[in-house]
Structure 1
Amino acid sequence: MFSIRNRLTAVPCASLIALAASLSGTSLAHAAEQDSAAPAAAPTRPAEPTAPDIVVTGSRIARAGFTAPTPVTVMGAEQLTKAAPSTLAESLRQLPSLTNTSGPQRNSGSSRVGQSFLNLRSLGPTRTLTLFDGRRMVSSSLTGSVDANILPSAVVQRVEVVTGGASAAYGSDAVAGVVNFILDKKFTGLKGEINYGLAQEGDNREIRATLSAGLKFAEGRGHILVSGEYFRNDGVAPSARPWASQGWGLINNPSGTPTLVLKPNVLTVGTYGGLIIGGNGGTAANNALFKGIQFMPGGVAAAYNYGTYTTSTQQVGGDGVPTENIQEINRPLERGSGYVHVGFDVSDALSLYADAMYGRSSSTVNNTYNRRQTANPFTIQRDNAFLPDAIRNQMQAVGVTSLTMLRFSRERGFIVTRGDSDTMQGTIGAKGTIAGLSWNAYYLRGRTYQTNATMNDEITARFNSAIDAVVSPSTGQIVCRSSLTNPTNGCVPFNVFGEGSPSNAALDYTRGVSWSHATIDADVGSFAVSGPLANGWAGPIRFAIGGEYRSEKVNVTTDALSPTGAFLLGNPNPWSGRYNVKEGFVEIIAPLAKDLPLIRELELNAAGRVTDYSTSGTVKTWKLGLSYKPFDDLRLRGTRSRDIRAPNLSELYQAGRQSIASVNDPFKSNVRVTGILQNNSGNAGLKPEIADTLTFGAVYSPSWVPHLNLSVDFYDISIASAIDNIAAQTAVDQCYVGTAAACALFTRDTAGNITSFSALPINLASAKTRGIDFEVGYSAPNGLLGLKGNVTLRAVATYLAKQETTTPGGAPIDRAGEAGVNPYPRWRGVAQFNYQGETVGGFLQARYVGGGAYDVTRGPAVVDLQNVSAQVYFDGQISFKPKMSGSEIELFLNVRNILDNAPPIAPENANVPVAFNAFLHDVIGRTFRVGARFKY
């Protein structure tokens, strides 16, 4: 599946890319490292034309035979579509280094609905720099990340991934690495694809269609490329899988040890028609008489069944609410993109180009119920006009004046969130050669419109007023108590007793839409020169130098009510922010020795960059790398770099948005607390994070086994002052062990119960990750074991040795080896077999996700779920290419998760309980896709 990371020291760059585009079934750059006189493996069909100015990610310098000391993985277009023909982001998730890339799965957030942001090394999307043909893009989100789903995948020739620090070469945000989407801008002809997918369960229906055309004009001096794509996935309903509908979750153990136990059918205390949890105004005994009365349809009172293992917020069995069956297992998504590129050669030394891209994504998803639960109950007075007389009479008899109630409202369904994002950008540029040097200059202008709407959302003050319903002494009609003194306030009485009891008018009055609209603008101007600097004693010394100016700004507007905190959920605040960046860089490649005893080649790659942020000042980054070949079959390489990431606009200036959090509170014997109001905001006091990155490894391509490649690479990334949001559970745990900064994030009432949590980004003391990448590849261009055609075998794996964060004042927490609450298993890997004959092709892939601890911070005395099992998923594809003259057609059947493996039970510590980890595991089950590709 994957290339040996930039292994091709002996293959000229143009040949490398041609090979990547031509290898049947794999379409990626991968061949044995050999002496420059030795030829690369022959492709089975002619390569696509490739532009001569190839720049391999990890370096700004392009030259034949260069191999960067930083590991680079190259994946071709065919490989990506065979691994996962759904979306580019899903294809890239096959890489172990990108496993935790977000997508449209449950609990993936309400502010990034329908978007997928690449996440290298599990360090977060904000530390992964996504490039489009070597250039930055306008952000698709307020956090500064790029949605991989909107890129024109039909004309992506290859994707290059550098899995180490690359700030010196490409600028801020490249702490974890770079993902560079390279386009096939020289394509000529017409090509397209259409495929249809369906899960075995009859859902997750999807369709994808692409069409691209390339045309030369002006006697071949000009070229135009046009491409369009449409994708739609209908998603998977919340309880559409047996393992998802069983309600697995952790709940407090009444026996004491362990504190938390894993049980099925874990429900949230409450009902759809209202539940009394206590009276007020009377004696404690009399107040308790009303606990456990629920209201059935029509307002009929009945006893509530609290089930077993009951806490104030959870229970096993009984009459509670199955809150796991709210959000979709896979969220629906509709997206489309269009791309146009025009290039024109004015002369042999000057070319002009321009391109424009548009991408749109839209998704409407279930969020939660309009819920009044233990953390936000409501009060009903004894004179409430809708209160059943029997309850009122009993309250009167025992001196109880009001009732405290819970209610999960199913009227009009869930609170739903719709996210729409439109991204457009245009680039004009020129490139050429002068005095033996290559230069490139461009200007980019981009804009993203993003609308986020939370619909059917309770307007809290109106609800509180509407439920306080009384009989008007003057008219005898049921009205809001507030209307007695203000008859024109528009309040409509709301009947809380029994599901279906509220009138449509009451629902209209108490529900609304909390929305925000964001405009994100980016302007980028860049100029770079590269070429030979001088002839050194071991070969030509080459350099690159350049500068870039970039400005970004965000403006967020909202509805009128949200800034007042009027809604149950959402409540975004308007905000704006901007910054500009000026930077200059220089890079040099210097051969140090060649053709000496035990030194076949020794080469230095060094880079430096000075970056000036209008928000945080000047920072310097650098990289030093060595590539050493003691003999032809072996290459040793290593880099040491200083990388930086400045806080993005959202981290600095976001004015706040409300959501809901849940924790197990160690101050309250780890009782489960749900419905905590979480206020998400920015932090203007953030400072840039600084990362030190070390990589070193070896590449072995034995001459005695042609086309076999093996590699191993060690990486170590240490980030000081790392910017991150502390999760509510992590914060309360850190507070419990004495970290004052974590305690300050919580607000508690007089009884010590958590009422709110401030989720703002802070500079952590440090974040560290360390591990080893392994890769082996073998290709047989002329067949293997009787198969006539191109056969390739690939395997890539990653071992995670450390994934550590430290909160200021707290002890380090290393979550490496955790496969439950946080997705950091020790081992992840992919192995592939691919065959492409003249007419028939076959592909088989095994994805391995290692097991590990459920939560490394919670031992067997705290939780009985200690280990999550490892999983292996198999995917396959068969294809058929009928022989045709002048055109190429391929029909294929792709099967994902062939064995229909269910994910292991590993409940997330989220507000909406989730019994599985969708970042690590397949949550759809066996899925079939059929399709056709054509090319003329």
Structure 2
Amino acid sequence: MRINDTFGFRTWAMAGVAAMAISSPACAQEADRPFNIPTQDLSAALEAFGQQGDAEILFDRRQTAGKRSAAVVGAYTRDVALQRLVGGSGLVVRRVNASTFVVEPSRPQVDATDASQLEEVVVTGSRIRGAPPASPVIRLSQDDMRNAGNNNLGDAIRQLPQNFSGGKNPAIGLGAGDANSNPNSSSQLNLRGLGPDATLTLLNGRRLAYSGVTQGVDITAVPLDAVDRLEILADGASALYGSDAVGGVANVILKRNYDGVSATARFGAATNGGAEQQQYSVVGGRTWDGGSLIATLNYEDSTEITAAQRTYTSGLGRTQIIYPPIEAWGGVVSAHQILTSFATLNIDAIYSDRNTASTTALTTAPYTTSGSASNADNASFTIAPNLDIALPGRWTANAAFVYGRDNTRQAGFSYSGGVATPSQVLKYDNTVELYEVSGEGPLTRLPAGDVRLAVGGGLRQVGLETYRGPRGATPATRLTPSQDARYAYGELYVPLFGGASAPSGFGELALTAAARYEDYDQAGDILVPKVGIIYSPTGDFDLKASWGKSFKTPILNRQYQVEQVVLFDASLFGAGYPVGSTVLYRSGGNPDVGPERAESWSATAALHPRSLPELEVSVSYFDVDYRDRIVSPIASIAGSLSNPLYASFVTLSPSAGLQNDIISNASGGFQNASSVPYNPASVLGILDTRFANAARQHIRGVDVQAAYDFDLGRYGSLSASTAATYLTSDQTLLAGQPSTNLSGIIFNPPKIRGTASLTWRISDLILTPQAIYTGSLSDNRRTPNVRIDDQVAFNLTARYNIETSLPGLKGLALSASVLNITDEDPEPIAATTIYNSPYESTNYTPMGRFVGMSLTARW
């Protein structure tokens, strides 16, 4: 794990552009240009080249400091001129698209199959090339994830201290609350514990279709072998990316420029039984002048863990599944081609298909005696082509299209006395369609650098089709809501002073500002801003701060799910009501709910001393005020008709006409559950418990990250890294009610999470021990509250590369991991029913000790 913004706001290299990798065939046809660049400081010379060559030059000023350029005077192509300019500096030039170049340190010769050395540069948290975000970005390379024993992106995100593993996680059992239900065993990011629907997940900067009925994205749809890195911006970013980016943004960045073929076979199992896993993957790719193609195919199969295989689940039915079986396969294709000297075509496509199952036993007997079983199929597909165009004045334009679909189908049987009855079929079909045009480039030149602007706009269409009904029959309910958004955004980067232009002793200072406008058919207009400041008083230290507003549009299922109206006896709502009086009770979806809104700010101090370049330290404070959260607002119906807190949800003495309108418009119909016939004159009131913008949540905390690399000479090198998050979270369900603490409470994020690892590299061996800390929780369902102790899991991964002389075979790689070496079990908790998990399943897993091995061959 590394802090992406390593060098503060001077990080020109490795920032900015969604670059498409190697040299264009059009380079040889490019016309000569006149250059007049005398010998001078290399940084200044590169900036002059960008101006005279109408090109973007990305470089790190720390790498060019103290270096002199060669003189370039005359007519040359841009490639030749730039090669001459940096000649003798120890730096090399890499063309990333038709008009963008990276100047970077010369690397040793690497195997062409090592795609991590050849990747394009993408930044998360800013749409401006060369402009670092004002919030820290967490970067996990594929090597980082492999060294941690991860075999899919779901494993990787659950180790992040900033992410709450509740929400959508295959390990979550029954009894953890509706927010943690997960019928299709997906894995979704849940930054700060604000909910999977409040974290935006992107693929190469593009949106994906939602999964299930929430606005979360299943990150395991992308095979890990296809991934170059995962970047996490744990800060509100709707001004840049739109809806859902409340807790932050995750960007899955794919490999590019891969030459060769590799095949991997992996096997593993939990030492206490179950979770027998096998995984097979193939990666193939080819690069050519001006383009590349990479394709990945992945298959994995994992058996279930049942209650009979764990001692702490002795109260459950022995056949109940506590960790689901998963069979999945998927593939990724990513390609790019430079079409002309000014245009590059890129395309990414992914497909995933996953099957999983669950069982519930209502007694200690097998679930087929009394219980239920279900299977869920999930298939997702996304295709995202886009065209990069180089414009005059060092501007670039991009036209993008995205189409994605995610379909879940769940069906099963219920059992009573050994007799099976088919259960209803559930279907959730999500779609996303996006059209966007954007541009980026310099507006003017200041002494400290370019003032740059990014602008864009487009149309996004999101759809959800839900189905519930018996098999092979007309569905009981079928809903097909959709949501269209027209949007426009802009981002500005202004370097106020720095380098030679900075007042003596003042260092460097830059400002950023962004705004986004979205127009929804149902939710109306939304405008959100974000501003940031990046100050480097010295070359060793950066200070950053950001403030902004974010939003999340309502989940379509909460707007348009079935609304039911039920008639109850008034006595259920309190004492003292006349005999025979009744109450109309409304529940379900509410088309009138509006967007959830948040205000976020953060402050970061980053240390990267020039005298100790191997050290990186970052400390960030974050604050999120999240309001208008959509909830069912009535916590308890007892006394609700007279409770002033609920006055806005109660209509007393409703007219017969109003009652008739409510009953006739209820999509789920009317049900009389009272002891008397329905009589409008006997209805005391209407209680509206449909979803409403009522709750407010306040999140505060501190992130700490540090990394240090040691050179051990002939004993190789050692990299140490650690990350931790301290989080407080309070929620007010309804205005006027007291706030309730959530952090450190059962089925919510703990107050403290952290990881620490060492990676020792010597020759062809990589050895990584790791510790993962999960803080204690309080079970507030019991009086007095019961403490659930903290837990530390120790992992160890070894990776070894083997050279071989076999014809055509470039090498073999072995990997072995032992996760949770000490076999820490979840601490037992009180279960409210015989089938609820008797342990805290959102923060702790029933996997136990897990041993896995893999073999990779490369051609």
- TM bucket, shorter chain: 0.7 to 0.9
1:50–1:410: structure 2 CA closer, same or farther, 3 Å change rule?
closer
Q: Secondary structure at the match of 2:323?
A: coil
For residue 594 of structure 2, the aligned residue among 674, 681, 687 is 687
Match of 1:345 in 2: 338
Match of 2:655 in 1: none
1:932–1:411: structure 2 CA closer, same or farther, 3 Å change rule?
closer
1:59–1:864: structure 2 CA closer, same or farther, 3 Å change rule?
same
State how far apart, in whole Å, the 2-side matches of 1:197 and 1:884 are: 26
**Of the two, which has the highest radius of gyration?**
1
What is the root-mean-square deviation of aligned Cα atoms in Å? 3.8
- Whether contact under 8 Å (2:797, 2:817) holds in the other structure is yes
- Whether contact under 8 Å (1:33, 1:632) holds in the other structure is no
1:653–1:817: structure 2 CA closer, same or farther, 3 Å change rule?
same
Q: 1:732 deviation in Å?
A: 8.1
Q: 1:10 deviation in Å?
A: 4.1
Q: 1:161 deviation in Å?
A: 0.3
Match of 2:702 in 1: 772
Q: 1:452 deviation in Å?
A: 1.4
Pairing 1:906–2:829 present: yes
- Whether contact under 8 Å (1:6, 1:71) holds in the other structure is no
Match of 1:14 in 2: 14
For residue 350 of structure 2, the aligned residue among 348, 353, 357 is 357
State how far apart, in whole Å, the 2-side matches of 1:195 and 1:17 are: 35
Q: 1:98 deviation in Å?
A: 1.1
Match of 2:820 in 1: 897
Match of 1:153 in 2: 224
State how far apart, in whole Å, the 2-side matches of 1:698 and 1:242 are: 46
- Whether contact under 8 Å (2:497, 2:510) holds in the other structure is yes
State how far apart, in whole Å, the 2-side matches of 1:359 and 1:748 are: 44
Unaligned 5+ runs, structure 1: 22-30, 248-321, 372-406, 459-498, 501-506, 565-570, 659-664, 669-677, 751-756
Q: Give the TM-score taking structure 2 as reference length.
A: 0.77
1:86–1:50: structure 2 CA closer, same or farther, 3 Å change rule?
closer
Pairing 1:573–2:503 present: no
Pairing 1:90–2:155 present: yes
Pairing 1:762–2:692 present: yes
1:52-105 C-alpha deviation (Å, 9 max, x unpaired): 863311111122xx3211121111011112324332111111111113252112
Which structure 2 residues correspond to residues 21-60 of structure 1 after superposition, within 5 A?
37=65, 46=110, 48=115, 54-60=121-127
State how far apart, in whole Å, the 1-side matches of 2:754 and 2:647 are: 38
Q: 1:333 deviation in Å?
A: 1.2
Q: 1:610 deviation in Å?
A: 0.5
- Whether contact under 8 Å (1:14, 1:52) holds in the other structure is no
For residue 103 of structure 1, the aligned residue among 149, 169, 184 is 169
Pairing 1:414–2:371 present: yes
Pairing 1:443–2:373 present: no
For residue 196 of structure 1, the aligned residue among 264, 267, 274 is 267
Match of 1:587 in 2: 491
Match of 2:329 in 1: 336
Q: 1:749 deviation in Å?
A: 7.7
* 1:585 counterpart letter in structure 2: Y
- Whether contact under 8 Å (2:9, 2:536) holds in the other structure is no
- Whether contact under 8 Å (1:110, 1:367) holds in the other structure is no
1:49–1:839: structure 2 CA closer, same or farther, 3 Å change rule?
closer
Q: 1:739 deviation in Å?
A: 4.8
- Whether contact under 8 Å (2:709, 2:719) holds in the other structure is yes
- Whether contact under 8 Å (2:115, 2:256) holds in the other structure is no
Pairing 1:456–2:414 present: yes
Match of 1:427 in 2: 384
State how far apart, in whole Å, the 1-side matches of 2:600 and 2:645 are: 28
State how far apart, in whole Å, the 2-side matches of 1:17 and 1:94 are: 28
State how far apart, in whole Å, the 1-side matches of 2:117 and 2:390 are: 18
State how far apart, in whole Å, the 2-side matches of 1:822 and 1:927 are: 24
1:132-188 C-alpha deviation (Å, 9 max, x unpaired): 110001222232321111113211100010000010111111011000000012222
Q: Aligned pairs, how many? A: 724
1:838–1:51: structure 2 CA closer, same or farther, 3 Å change rule?
closer
Pairing 1:61–2:128 present: yes
State how far apart, in whole Å, the 1-side matches of 2:640 and 2:311 are: 36
State how far apart, in whole Å, the 1-side matches of 2:731 and 2:617 are: 29
Q: 1:32 deviation in Å?
A: 12
Which structure 2 residues correspond to residues 620-699 of structure 1 after superposition, within 5 A?
620-655=527-562, 681-699=588-606
Match of 1:486 in 2: none
State how far apart, in whole Å, the 2-side matches of 1:666 and 1:712 are: 51
- Whether contact under 8 Å (1:199, 1:205) holds in the other structure is yes
- Whether contact under 8 Å (1:6, 1:73) holds in the other structure is no
Q: Give the TM-score taking structure 1 as reference length.
A: 0.71
State how far apart, in whole Å, the 2-side matches of 1:805 and 1:935 are: 55
* 1:592 counterpart letter in structure 2: L
1:348-370 C-alpha deviation (Å, 9 max, x unpaired): 2111233322111111111354x
Q: Secondary structure at the match of 1:80?
A: helix
Match of 1:227 in 2: 296
State how far apart, in whole Å, the 1-side matches of 2:299 and 2:350 are: 14
Pairing 1:533–2:443 present: yes
- Whether contact under 8 Å (2:227, 2:254) holds in the other structure is yes
Match of 2:145 in 1: 80
State how far apart, in whole Å, the 2-side matches of 1:542 and 1:227 are: 37
Q: 1:933 deviation in Å?
A: 2.3
State how far apart, in whole Å, the 2-side matches of 1:701 and 1:517 are: 51
Which structure 2 residues correspond to residues 284-363 of structure 1 after superposition, within 5 A?
322=316, 327-363=320-356
For residue 793 of structure 2, the aligned residue among 873, 882, 886 is 873
- Whether contact under 8 Å (2:598, 2:624) holds in the other structure is yes
State how far apart, in whole Å, the 2-side matches of 1:931 and 1:598 are: 54
Q: Secondary structure at the match of 2:613?
A: coil
* 1:345 counterpart letter in structure 2: I
- Whether contact under 8 Å (1:32, 1:709) holds in the other structure is no
1:558–1:16: structure 2 CA closer, same or farther, 3 Å change rule?
closer
* 2:771 counterpart letter in structure 1: A
State how far apart, in whole Å, the 1-side matches of 2:637 and 2:62 are: 53
1:408–1:894: structure 2 CA closer, same or farther, 3 Å change rule?
closer
Match of 1:815 in 2: 742
State how far apart, in whole Å, the 2-side matches of 1:453 and 1:758 are: 31
Match of 1:720 in 2: 627
1:721–1:759: structure 2 CA closer, same or farther, 3 Å change rule?
same
Pairing 1:240–2:309 present: yes
* 2:287 counterpart letter in structure 1: K
- Whether contact under 8 Å (2:554, 2:594) holds in the other structure is yes
Q: 1:209 deviation in Å?
A: 1.6
Q: 1:697 deviation in Å?
A: 1.3
Q: Secondary structure at the match of 1:89?
A: helix
Q: Secondary structure at the match of 2:424?
A: strand
For residue 212 of structure 1, the aligned residue among 260, 269, 283 is 283
Q: Secondary structure at the match of 2:844?
A: coil
- Whether contact under 8 Å (1:710, 1:777) holds in the other structure is yes
State how far apart, in whole Å, the 1-side matches of 2:297 and 2:553 are: 35
State how far apart, in whole Å, the 2-side matches of 1:832 and 1:144 are: 33
For residue 728 of structure 2, the aligned residue among 781, 801, 804 is 801
* 2:236 counterpart letter in structure 1: G
- Whether contact under 8 Å (1:161, 1:180) holds in the other structure is yes
* 1:208 counterpart letter in structure 2: Q
Match of 2:717 in 1: 790
1:228–1:802: structure 2 CA closer, same or farther, 3 Å change rule?
same
